[in-house]
Amino acid sequence: MKSIICSKPKEFLQTEAPEPRPGPEEALVRIRNIGICGTDLHAYQGQQPFFEYPRILGHELSAEVIDAGADPRLKKGDYVVINPYLKCGECIACRRGKDNCCQYMQVMGVHCDGGMRELITVPTENAIPAEGLELDQMATVECFAIGAHAVRRAGLSNKDTVAVVGAGPIGIGVIQFAKITGARVIVVDLNDQRLRFCKEILGTDATINATKCPIQSLQDLTGGDKPTTVFDVTGNKSSMEAAFEYCAPGGQLVMVGLIKGRLTFDDPHFHKHELTLKSSRNGTSEDLQQVIDAIRDGLVDTENFITHRCGFDKIVDQFEAWILPETNVIKAMVEIN
């Protein structure tokens, strides 16, 4: 069985490994598509929190069931979305239905080995049927679920004006699910190509280049009010700290991006405007199912989202290029025949 290991920052090794054997309540699946995420890129560069080497990357996965065990939902040959969040089911977060915050969370490709290999075993409950979706669409579900979860955390409505700061893949998920709520959506980013994508393909209401007075631009676009909800999806310390200034009085800031280290903010400004600060982590099974339904109903664009493709044998050659801004990657997809 072919497997690709990130042995240390900026080093991949392609190896042969024995085929895994499923245990009780596990399914054996053949990986068919791997979406390349910012987490994969950061891990490759040595910039990912909660990460140890060596590690097999890959957590945005579509797969084909080889052996479903005793699970009546699944049968051999079914195509499934893999939920990469392995929960304990017993901690206080899991007991309260917040399994995305499980105290003992193991995220495939981060805390344990992921899907850059031909075969894997997963708990059968983590194999989600997605009838009606193409294999590459299935491999976008986890990415979009992070955005869907952030939007659900924010409790948006059609009365909200939203600023999404950062138009990478996760930000694009936030944008699409914010639009589904009927909210007005403004996008802030440094990359003009991504801003054009958001305006022309996703139909956002407005875009702002972050180098050009974003606070004044947000005020101008909202009649002086500023957005009621701001999502920061950059994973950039300066941007995350500046985002406090983007919120309307009484508004909320949802931190979707993650950095290594501490953030600081002006406490008098925070209290004066009675802002609400939230974090948003991963997604739940409910969020993954919401994404599957939204893609099936044509509410989420996946075709234009996937901009680059390669076969499994080309990952090592292609991966570093996907990091470069001039490559204009939005979502790279690896296909395993």
Q: Are residues 133 and 237 in the same domain?
A: no
pTM for the whole thing? 0.95
Would you say how long the chain is, in residues?
Answer: 337
Q: Is residue 22 part of a domain?
A: yes
The whole-number pLDDT of residue 70 equals: 87
> Residue 235 belongs to a domain with what CATH number?
3.40.50.720
The whole-number pLDDT of residue 69 equals: 85
Q: Is residue 288 part of a domain?
A: no
Q: Is residue 290 part of a domain?
A: no
The whole-number pLDDT of residue 148 equals: 98
- What residue type is 122 in one-letter code? V
Which token pair is 44?
């490759």
Which residue do the tokens 């009838």 mark? Answer: 131
Q: Are residues 17 and 135 in the same domain?
A: yes
10 Å Cβ neighbour count for 213? 12
Where would I find the H helices in the chain? 38-45, 92-95, 135-138, 141-154, 169-180, 192-200, 214-221, 237-242, 267-272, 285-296, 315-318
> Residue 115 belongs to a domain with what CATH number?
3.90.180.10
Which token pair is 9?
């920052």
Residue 188 — φ and ψ, nearest 5°?
Answer: -120, 125
The rounded distance, in Å, linking the Cα atoms of 95 and 44 is 34
Q: Are residues 270 and 316 in the same domain?
A: no
The whole-number pLDDT of residue 295 equals: 97
Q: Are residues 154 and 134 in the same domain?
A: no
Q: Is residue 292 part of a domain?
A: no
Q: State the residue range of the domain holding 309.
A: 2-140+302-335
Q: Are residues 63 and 155 in the same domain?
A: no
Local confidence pLDDT in tens for the 337 residues of the chain: 999 999 999 999 999 999 999 999 999 999 999 999 988 998 999 877 778 999 999 999 999 999 998 889 999 999 999 999 999 999 999 999 999 999 999 999 999 999 999 999 999 999 999 999 999 999 999 999 999 999 999 999 999 999 999 999 999 999 999 999 999 999 999 999 999 999 999 999 999 999 999 999 999 999 999 999 999 999 999 999 999 999 999 999 999 998 888 999 999 999 999 999 999 999 999 999 999 999 999 999 999 999 999 999 999 999 999 999 899 999 999 999 7
Q: Are residues 250 and 168 in the same domain?
A: yes
Q: Is residue 297 part of a domain?
A: no
For 311, the enclosing helix (H) or strand (E) is: strand 306-311
For 336, the enclosing helix (H) or strand (E) is: none
Q: Are residues 222 and 193 in the same domain?
A: yes
How many domains in the chain? Answer: 2
The whole-number pLDDT of residue 331 equals: 96
178 alpha-carbon distance from chain centroid: 15
